[in-house]
């Protein structure tokens, strides 16, 4: 069921005003601030309707109205207008992606998340690439001292993983390099999740004469690959403290505690649905996690190369500047993907 043009106008005004002022907005305010050409009384009637339909709520009788979750949803889906970034914002985005000699993916992501949070004043969440989905590129074992070596693993997404391992003293340099190049040839181009137990057993057979040493290495290799956890990067975690809805310490604590539980955050970001123009918006209770049910999450997936590698999102109160947030997110993700 659709709303009359006038109701839409009013709903929009309520959302915009409430987002800006964080105060329930009354009929008088709308009549004054937004040129709708109607008297407060008429607006009151319309607002009463909107409340009955569930788009607005009243904190108490004789207070102004606040958008409900349904109200925000309608606003986001039908009323919101695309926003254009300010030049200075564009500049600061460009700066981050062009000025720096960023090569490693982790560095890039960290800077991106800082950028997002400073542009929006919300908290940015970035789910990193799925290690298992990226392809093996190169492996190297580099002797460090008599007993130990450093196992270095590089993937095509630019991931670098290293781990100290024990080396048997009997192993000569040339043997080691033979083993390494053998492993490289065998693993080349495989995605990490295809390097399974079976394959490893096979390799182990081929290299049976080094079994003791490899036992160790393979175990570590397996372990580090089994670390399914995708990394989550956060930016601007203290930004929520600026929001009036988080004046209550308990709420702050709940959220900040959530921010430390990266595995939960990963589930939050891992919903792979794609929305309009790639951006998905989850409002309030639409989020499964109860800690963020007073928040909204604006997110999208991003690619490096041609594969989708992760999710990038902004978390703020439901009373959020949706259009601006969407604009920033899209612009930043675009710039990111051009790398």
Interacting residue ranges for DNA, rule: CB under 7 A: 24-29, 37-42, 44-45, 47-48, 51, 58, 60-65
- Rounded to whole angstroms, the Cα distance separating 103 from 193 reads 25
Phi and psi torsions of 199, nearest 5°:
-60, -45
Smallest separation, CB 160 to its own copies (Å): 6
Of the pair 56, 298, the CB lying nearest DNA is at 56
Of the pair 18, 233, the CB lying nearest DNA is at 18
Phi and psi torsions of 140, nearest 5°:
-145, 140
Smallest separation, CB 104 to its own copies (Å): 6
> In this chain, which stretch among 24-32, 71-79, 186-194, 247-255 interacts with its own copies, using CB under 8 A?
247-255
Smallest separation, CB 323 to its own copies (Å): 27
Smallest separation, CB 237 to its own copies (Å): 8
The answer to the question of residue 252 lying near its own copies (CB under 8 A) is yes
Give the per-residue SS3 of the chain.
Answer: CCCCHHHHHHHHHHHHHHHHHCCCECHHHHHHHCCCCCCHHHHHHHHHHHHHHCCEECCCCCCCEEECHHHHHHHHHHHCCCCCCCHHHHHHHHHHHHHCCCCCHHHHHHHHHHHHHHHHCCEEEEECCCHHHCEEEEEEEEECCCCEEEEEEEECCCCEEEEEEECCCCCCHHHHHHHHHHHHHHHCCCEHHHCCHHHHHHHHHHCHHHHHHHHHHHHHHHHHHHCCCCCEEEECHHHHHHCHHHCCHHHHHHHHHHHHCHHHHHHHHCCCCCCHHHEEEEEHHHCCCHHHCCEEEEEEEEEECCEEEEEEEEEEECCCCHHHHHHHHHHHHHHHHHC
Of the pair 45, 242, the CB lying nearest its own copies is at 242
Smallest separation, CB 288 to its own copies (Å): 22
In the list DNA, its own copies, none, the entry touching 65 (Cβ below 5 to 8 angstroms by class) is DNA
The answer to the question of residue 249 lying near its own copies (CB under 8 A) is yes
Q: How many CA atoms lie within 13 A of 82 on its CB side?
A: 7
The 76-115 site mask, x for binding its own copies (CB under 8 A), equals ---------------------------xx-----------
Instruction: Give the footprint of its own copies on residues 136-155 (CB under 8 A).
Output: 137-138, 140, 142-145, 148, 150, 152, 154
In the list DNA, its own copies, none, the entry touching 260 (Cβ below 5 to 8 angstroms by class) is its own copies
Of the pair 20, 188, the CB lying nearest its own copies is at 188
Smallest CA-to-CA distance from 240 within 283, 300, 292, 311 is with 292
Smallest separation, CB 276 to its own copies (Å): 34
In the list DNA, its own copies, none, the entry touching 152 (Cβ below 5 to 8 angstroms by class) is its own copies
> In this chain, which stretch among 18-26, 224-232, 241-249, 280-288 interacts with its own copies, using CB under 8 A?
241-249
> In this chain, which stretch among 44-52, 195-203, 235-243, 299-307 interacts with its own copies, using CB under 8 A?
235-243
Sign of the alpha-carbon torsion through 113, 119, 124, 128: negative
Of the pair 55, 122, the CB lying nearest DNA is at 55
Residues that bind its own copies (CB under 8 A): 103-104, 137-138, 140, 142-145, 148, 150, 152, 154, 158, 160, 162-165, 237-238, 241-242, 246-247, 249, 252-253, 256-257, 260
């Amino acid at each position: 069921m659709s709303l009359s043009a006038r109701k839409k106008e009013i709903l929009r005004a309520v959302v915009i005003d409430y987002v800006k002022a964080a105060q329930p907005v009354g009929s008088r305010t709308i009549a004054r601030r937004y040129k709708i050409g109607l008297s407060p009384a008429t607006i009151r009637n319309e607002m009463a309707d909107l409340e009955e339909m569930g788009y607005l709520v009243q904190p108490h009788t004789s207070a102004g109205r606040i958008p409900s979750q349904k109200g925000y949803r309608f606003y986001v889906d039908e009323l919101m207008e695309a926003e254009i970034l300010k030049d200075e914002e564009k500049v600061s985005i460009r700066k981050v992606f062009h000025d720096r000699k960023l090569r490693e993916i982790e560095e890039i992501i960290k800077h991106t998340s800082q950028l997002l949070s400073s542009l929006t004043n919300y908290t940015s969440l970035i789910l990193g690439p799925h290690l298992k989905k990226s392809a093996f590129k190169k492996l190297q074992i580099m002797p460090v001292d008599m007993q130990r070596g450093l196992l270095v693993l590089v993937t095509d997404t630019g991931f670098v993983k290293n781990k100290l391992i024990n080396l048997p003293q009997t192993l000569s340099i040339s043997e080691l390099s033979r083993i390494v190049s053998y492993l490289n040839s065998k693993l080349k181009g495989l995605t990490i999740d295809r390097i399974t137990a079976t394959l490893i057993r096979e390799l182990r057979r081929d290299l049976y004469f080094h079994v003791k040493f490899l036992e160790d290495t393979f175990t570590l290799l397996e372990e580090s690959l089994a670390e399914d956890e995708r990394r989550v990067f956060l930016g601007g975690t203290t930004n929520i403290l600026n929001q009036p809805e988080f004046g209550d310490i308990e709420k702050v604590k709940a959220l900040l505690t959530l921010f430390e539980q990266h595995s939960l955050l990963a589930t939050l970001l891992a919903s792979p649905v794609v929305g309009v123009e790639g951006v998905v918006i989850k409002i309030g209770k639409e989020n499964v996690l109860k800690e963020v049910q007073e928040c909204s999450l604006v997110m999208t997936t991003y690619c490096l190369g041609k594969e989708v590698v992760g999710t990038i999102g902004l978390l703020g109160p439901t009373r959020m500047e949706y259009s601006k947030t969407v604009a920033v997110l899209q612009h930043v993700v675009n710039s990111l993907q051009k790398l």
